[in-house]
Amino acid sequence: MLKVIGLNHNTAPVEVRERFAFDAEQGARVLAELTRGRETEAVLLSTCNRTEVYLGLPENDSAEGAIELLAEHAAITPAEAHDYLYTFDERAGVEHLFRVVSSLDSMILGEPQIQGQVKAAYERAVAAGSNGTRVVGPLLSRLFQHALAVGGKVRSETYLGTGAASIPSAAVELARKIYGSLRGLTAFVIGAGEMSELSLECLLGEGVGGTVVASRTEERARALATRMGAGFARFEDFARQLRLADIVVSATAAPHAIITRDLVQRALPDGPDHPMLIVDIALPRDVEKQVGELPNVFLYDVDDLRQIVDDNLERRQKEIPKAERIVLSAVQEFWAWHSARDAVPLIRELRGRAERVRAAEVERALRRLRHLPVEDQAAVEALTRQLLNKVLHAPTTRLREAASGTRALDVMDIARYLFELDRAEPTDTEDGAE
């Protein structure tokens, strides 16, 4: 039984999502707790915008243990956790994961990071199994491999992920138009808030080296630089960092401009000897408009970037129906496989009983045919096996097909009745009487 429990940017504000976030070590402990001594599979997906637990549970098992673990981690009661959590069962859980990995359920439609985050979550769960314990079994293994293929197909067959869809990614898109490749360039990020962090992530993802963070709140700037693997500069070193930077991104909460034409001219009296991109994503603006009049300086503010984002999002919106069709087709394909698994025990039981009947009848016949050479007796054995396989081929194929239909249980109940699998096997005496 598949069950998904989680919360995301639609159900919980950021201050709540932060409490439910797991690092790698915490996630490994939760996975071990969920699967210890139980026939349960589990994968934990934790990003800045969502925390979700994917469970493969024995039939009629409860997922309350997972909810209690999530609530305990967030230091709230299970009842309080229910206010933010959603639950998807079975096929709805499959569709949810396929939408997540395709970025149809993301805060930013088409964002590319989620594919890698889902893959990493799955790989961490696989690696968490040790000393004979299993965290990921056949259900979640097949589900996540299928999901990653779906995400790849959506990205390769639609334009859902093309073009910048956030202010920081739009800034990077502009930088690529000016410089081409960003590898080897230097960047100066001013501010230590969410937009600065997103900008850093985008710049580092493009291979920008020598990235430095500065903020009036030195502690926050140091923490951000350490977390993102960037350099740190004191705010007093502002002018020197301007001279070194190819790209400047400013996202502070200052009530007035902190980069003025006069400041840039004093820092670069001869002007920059190379193109300098200054991206102002603060409101109110951090950079005086006149800075953009300086030679070799390209200045863009949040309105310029938002126009790029709006145009790209409009194109992405048009791709949603195509992406949805890919997802729904993949859900049907996966669910057919999943449902067919329900027929496996019945098919195994049918074939097992038929084989026992065949073996008993062959043994009885060969007792009367002891005069046959050994090779002829072997031929009788082989012939009866071939006949049994041919007779059972169509019923077992149809049972697998029927298992994925809407009346699967009815069909399997009828099969049990027709082949007397709802009764104990007859003894030799009963068989002889019949």
Residue 117 lies in a domain: yes
In this structure, are 196 and 215 located in the same domain?
yes
In this structure, are 303 and 370 located in the same domain?
no
Distance CA 339, CA 220 (A): 51
Q: C-alpha angle with apex 83: 80 to 87, nearest 5 degrees?
A: 115
In this structure, are 129 and 77 located in the same domain?
yes
Domain range for 362 is: 342-433
> Number of folded domains in the chain?
3
In this structure, are 232 and 358 located in the same domain?
no
Q: Which of 91, 123, 157 is the last residue of a domain?
A: 157
Active site residues: 48
Q: What is the pLDDT along the chain (434 residues), one digit of tens a residue?
A: 899 999 999 999 888 998 998 888 899 899 988 888 778 899 999 987 899 999 998 877 778 889 999 999 999 999 999 999 999 998 999 999 999 999 999 888 888 788 999 999 999 999 887 666 789 989 999 999 999 999 999 999 998 887 766 788 888 888 988 999 999 899 999 999 888 998 898 899 889 988 999 998 889 999 999 989 999 999 888 888 888 999 999 999 888 899 999 999 988 888 778 889 999 988 888 999 999 999 999 999 888 888 888 888 888 889 999 999 999 999 998 988 887 776 777 778 878 888 888 988 988 988 888 888 989 989 988 999 999 899 888 887 777 777 665 555 577 777 777 777 766 666 554 444 33
Question: Which pLDDT belongs to residue 300?
Answer: 92
pTM above 0.75, yes or no: no
What are the tokens at 132?
Answer: 């004979």
Question: Which pLDDT belongs to residue 403?
Answer: 66
- Helix locations, 369-427, DSSP H: 374-403, 408-418
Q: What is the CATH number of the domain that holds 282?
A: 3.40.50.720
- Helix locations, 158-294, DSSP H: 167-179, 194-205, 218-228, 238-244, 261-267
Query: CA nearest 276: which of 236, 302, 243, 306?
Result: 243
Residue 211 lies in a domain: yes
In this structure, are 300 and 363 located in the same domain?
no
